[in-house]
Amino acid sequence: MKKLGIFLVMLLAFLAIPFTVLAEDGENTEKSGEVEETSEESSDSEEDKEVKIYFFRGETCSHCAETEEWFESIEEEYGSKFKVIDYEVWNNEENAELMDRVADARGEEADGVPYIIIGNHSWNGFADEYKDEILDAINSEYEKEVSSRYDIMALLPSLEKNVKEKSKSSDIVALIIIVLVVGGVTYGIIQARKKTY
């Protein structure tokens, strides 16, 4: 009976470990959230009113060159509303990894370039039918308050953190199940040995 008591105490200790880790992570999340809010409040300058267009491209990609030419062609009429931020991905491994991370965070695959993101809209490739959609996205994002716009680059760390936290909580659940199974098997073995003596 004494062994059973020791076993139960150890089992409870193992079960408490994951919950203390989760509590510490929750405190860190709250602190980082406060910092993010203050930095967003101070970012309403004139330059920030331009809609950010994230443009992942390949250096010798003909569709990317066509996309760049089109952006230049609309600059006279819409240039004050948008700013193209481009990332060359064929010769820059960091940019290629960033494109994959952005696509993963958005829950989609970047099958190639060009890969264009405006607010919460994205286009993989470039075709004439995308032009009106892209212009609509630029105009609708421009009409929004800067603080309420969806900016994947600003949100990327927190989106990736959420994915990691979901994975971590799944790992914790698996650990709890393993501990319970091992505990049940150990308890069964102890009870079987008692019956044989």
Is the model's pLDDT at 61 over the cut of 60? yes
d(CA 7, CA 187): 8
pLDDT of residue 50: 94
Between CA 38 and CA 49, with CA 44 as vertex, the angle to 5 degrees is 140
Burial category of 123 from C-beta neighbours within 10 Å (exposed 0-12, middle 13-18, buried 19 and up): middle
For domain 47-152, give its CATH number from 2.160.20.10, 3.20.20.210, 2.30.30.30, 3.40.30.10. Answer: 3.40.30.10
Distance CA 180, CA 178 (A): 5
Beta-bridge partners for 88:
57
What's residue 39's pLDDT? 40
How does the average pLDDT of the chain come out, rounded? 79
Q: Residues 10-44: pLDDT tens digits? A: 655 666 555 554 444 444 444 333 333 334 444 45
> pLDDT value at position 30?
40
Residue 21: half-sphere exposure toward Cβ, Cα within 13 Å: 13
Interstrand relation of 51-57 and 115-118 (parallel, antiparallel or unpaired)? antiparallel
Task: Say if residue 103's pLDDT is above 70.
Answer: yes
Whole-number pLDDT of residue 32:
36
pTM of the model: 0.60
Residue ranges of domains in the chain: 47-152
